[in-house]
Structure 1
């Protein structure tokens, strides 16, 4: 795949588009995870990030390695965003899940 994208000089554009989509997908995932699971789900993103880092190192293709790296660091970023989302819920900017027990 990298050969095709490189041949037409669009590898960077496709990686940029995929990065945009990955970051865009993580935004609602962060909101939903905090709503349903609270701050405890931060560990999931740590594990996902570590697995994606390992995959990025293991994969030889530059395209897939780059996307795994973007996914990894988006997962790491989500760890902090879960805490920020919790603060947004406390401020009333986002709804609180009445079925979930709080601190």
Structure 2
């Protein structure tokens, strides 16, 4: 952290990490909906609440910020999970045939 602060790179590092975190959540939502449907929304909720709470407790600005970004991305992903279901219904993404077979029985 001292290196980042000394060379004024903290903001850049937070920006890059934020970009990577948001980029990670996109495939997590797609795969989560594919394998579990919207039933996995609570995982994003728990992860989001825990991360936001941790961001309040952590004193280091860099890690606190990244925890807050992780938490916000987790909470945002709940809505995206339900939007992903709509995208699957429209045929924009493949539906999981195993899950469809179970729900038709």
TM-score (norm 1): 0.95
Structure 2 residue 80 is matched with structure 1 residue 78: no
Determine helix, strand or coil for the equivalent of 1:16. Answer: helix
Q: Which residue of 2 aligns with 1:65?
A: 64
CA RMSD of aligned residues (A): 1.1
Q: Which residue of 1 aligns with 2:51?
A: 52
Tell me by how many angstroms 1:102 deviates: 3.9
1:1-103 equivalent positions in 2, closer than 5 A: 1=1, 3-100=2-99, 101-102=102-103
CA distance in 2, matches of 1:52, 1:102: 33
Tell me by how many angstroms 1:90 deviates: 0.1
- Point out where structure 1 has 5 or more consecutive residues left out of the alignment: none
Tell me by how many angstroms 1:5 deviates: 1.0
CA distance in 1, matches of 2:94, 2:10: 40
- Point out where structure 2 has 5 or more consecutive residues left out of the alignment: none
1:33-90 deviations in Å (ceiling 9; x for gaps): 0000000111110000000011101111100000000000000100000000000000
Higher normalized helix content (fraction of residues): 2
TM-score (norm 2): 0.93
